[in-house]
């Protein structure tokens, strides 16, 4: 059966030097030839189908007599393309109107509109990518921080898939041995000793545990860390927030109690995406609006992964500071002793006791900002993690690894209890099944559709 041919705009909307429209499927080159005239003068006789693949040609995209745009056409022949199918990409001028018209011309010539993630879905279905690699494509597109990007890059390179595959291969080896031994008794297959089985299973258990643990870091990298900036009015929270963002995103004023609500902004700190929230100054509120602001600030402090508690180091600490210390007790926090450019007048003994980390900064001059940023990464648990380790990035992957670990653990228990090998085999098989789900080898269609529905059209 012929595979349907689909087309989509692959680049983001807006004005750009170049915009790309791509078409993939069995009839991709044939359809592209209907709308593309090679050569400058438009009289060249050669067609795109004359190209060998992985080649480009200059020409014009036409709608009947009308020239829609001049473009470069890149031709890829199956299986040597992103999707594994015949594919053509048109590099046009980056104007949405032109790109939409090119897409329309391709559809008139026989292509269908591609759905979200359809190109990557086809790459997956054609065995060009595993499911975790396909997910990494979207993660790379969405990544903001360098560390997040590196982790997604590792997954796209297949590091996570290979780690899971290695475990899977060992377990499949066990299953194969069980099957050969029980199904072909006449073949004199060597019986697996309990020691060898136990060793293989315990190794798999340990490796699965390492993968599962990586989800903590992977999740933080993928979704970012929430960080509340809290402190009494005038401590310098907004100035600090602005210094981190390096632009004026919250109002800075010397009148106390200005930031009455929570102001949010994202920044990449030490390669990690941090979602900052500048909160209202915490103190005994003088009116209803301020009281609501203070309540929201406290709530945000309670909900955040990390708290940066800002203290004015240039003046004596008071009961508002004491209230903040109460709030951060036992929390993953950093005390930022601010206005250090004015000298230290505050007694920070209690601050040192309450906060996990203390840094001295001047949000106004930038002094100590690097120390603060590395303290934030440290609090996020991302200062010294192994950047080359394969990290699980989403709930689907985590669930597969978790199920595999349950299967392996059950197999170990069954072995230790001395039950029949059949029972051990069933547990190992369920672990293998979970790992097949992980790579997408036997994953259900609705799961595949769910994964790719999160993609953008054209990817």
Please identify, using beta-carbon distances, which residue of 300 and 339 lies nearer to ligand GDP: 339
According to CB under 6 A, which one of 363, 382, 392, 435 is a site residue for ligand GDP? 363
Please identify, using beta-carbon distances, which residue of 341 and 373 lies nearer to ligand GDP: 341
Residue 234 is a binding residue for ligand GDP (CB under 6 A): yes
CA 354 – CA 358 distance, rounded (Å): 10
According to CB under 6 A, which one of 3, 120, 217, 238 is a site residue for ligand GDP? 238
| Cβ(153)–Cβ(115) below 8 Å | no
**Distance separating the N- and C-terminal Cα atoms of the chain:** 24
Please identify, using beta-carbon distances, which residue of 259 and 397 lies nearer to ligand GDP: 259
Q: Per DSSP, what are the bridge partners of residue 20?
A: 91
Closest distance of CB 231 from ligand GDP, Å: 5
Residue 392 is a binding residue for ligand GDP (CB under 6 A): no
CA 178 – CA 170 distance, rounded (Å): 13
Please identify, using beta-carbon distances, which residue of 201 and 243 lies nearer to ligand GDP: 243
CA 289 – CA 308 distance, rounded (Å): 24
Task: Please give the radius of gyration of the chain, using alpha carbons only, rounded to the nearest integer.
Answer: 29
Closest distance of CB 342 from ligand GDP, Å: 5
Residue 233 is a binding residue for ligand GDP (CB under 6 A): yes
Please identify, using beta-carbon distances, which residue of 25 and 236 lies nearer to ligand GDP: 236
Closest distance of CB 293 from ligand GDP, Å: 11
**What is the helix (H) or strand (E) element at residue 8, kind and residue range?**
strand 6-9
Residue 231 is a binding residue for ligand GDP (CB under 6 A): yes
Q: Per DSSP, what are the bridge partners of residue 225?
A: 274
Residue 390 is a binding residue for ligand GDP (CB under 6 A): no
CA 428 – CA 407 distance, rounded (Å): 6
CA 119 – CA 82 distance, rounded (Å): 8
According to CB under 6 A, which one of 70, 165, 341, 433 is a site residue for ligand GDP? 341
| Cβ(304)–Cβ(277) below 8 Å | yes
Residue 349 is a binding residue for ligand GDP (CB under 6 A): no
- Give SS3 for 13: coil
Please identify, using beta-carbon distances, which residue of 177 and 237 lies nearer to ligand GDP: 237
Binding stretches for ligand GDP (CB under 6 A): 231, 233-239, 252-254, 259, 281, 338-339, 341-342, 362-364
């Amino acid at each position: 059966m012929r595979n349907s041919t689909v087309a989509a705009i692959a680049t983001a909307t807006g004005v750009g030097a170049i915009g790309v429209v791509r078409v993939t499927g069995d009839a991709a080159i044939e359809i592209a030839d209907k709308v593309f005239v090679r050569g400058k003068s438009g009289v060249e006789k050669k067609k795109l189908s004359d190209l060998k693949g992985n080649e480009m040609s200059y020409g014009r995209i036409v709608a009947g007599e009308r020239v829609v745009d001049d473009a470069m056409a890149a031709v890829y022949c199956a299986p040597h393309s992103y999707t594994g199918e015949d594919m053509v990409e048109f590099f046009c001028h980056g104007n949405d109107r032109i790109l939409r018209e090119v897409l329309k011309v391709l559809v008139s010539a026989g292509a269908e509109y591609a759905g979200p993630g359809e190109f990557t879905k086809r790459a997956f279905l054609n065995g060009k990518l595993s499911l975790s690699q396909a997910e990494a494509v979207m993660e790379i597109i969405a990544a903001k921080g360098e560390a997040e990007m590196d982790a997604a890059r590792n997954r796209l390179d297949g590091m996570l898939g290979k780690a899971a595959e290695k475990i899977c291969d060992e377990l499949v080896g066990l299953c194969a041995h069980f099957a050969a031994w029980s199904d072909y008794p006449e073949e004199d297959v060597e019986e697996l000793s309990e020691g060898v089985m136990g060793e293989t299973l315990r190794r798999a258990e340990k490796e699965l545990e390492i993968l599962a643990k990586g989800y903590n870091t992977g999740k933080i990298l993928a979704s970012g860390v929430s960080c509340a900036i809290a402190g009494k009015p005038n401590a310098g929270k907004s100035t600090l927030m602005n210094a981190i963002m390096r632009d004026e995103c919250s109002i800075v004023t010397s009148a106390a109690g200005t930031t009455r609500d929570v102001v949010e902004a994202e920044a990449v700190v030490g390669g990690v995406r941090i979602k900052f929230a500048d909160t209202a100054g915490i103190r005994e509120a003088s009116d209803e609006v301020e009281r609501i602001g203070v309540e929201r600030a406290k709530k945000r402090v309670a909900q955040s992964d990390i708290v940066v508690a800002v203290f004015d180091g240039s003046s004596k600490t008071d009961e508002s500071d004491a209230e903040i210390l109460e709030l951060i007790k036992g929390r993953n926090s950093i005390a930022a002793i601010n206005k250090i450019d004015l000298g230290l007048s505050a007694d920070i003994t209690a601050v040192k006791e309450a906060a996990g980390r203390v840094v001295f900064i001047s949000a106004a001059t930038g002094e100590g900002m690097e120390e603060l940023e590395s303290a934030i990464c440290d609090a996020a648990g991302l200062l010294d993690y192994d950047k080359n380790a394969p990290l699980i990035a989403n709930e689907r992957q985590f669930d597969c690894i978790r199920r595999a670990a349950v299967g392996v653990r059950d197999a170990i228990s069954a072995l230790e209890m001395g039950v029949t090998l059949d029972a051990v085999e069933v547990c190992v098989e369920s672990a293998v099944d979970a790992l097949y789900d992980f790579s997408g080898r036997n994953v259900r269609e609705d799961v595949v559709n769910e994964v790719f529905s999160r993609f953008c059209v054209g990817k």
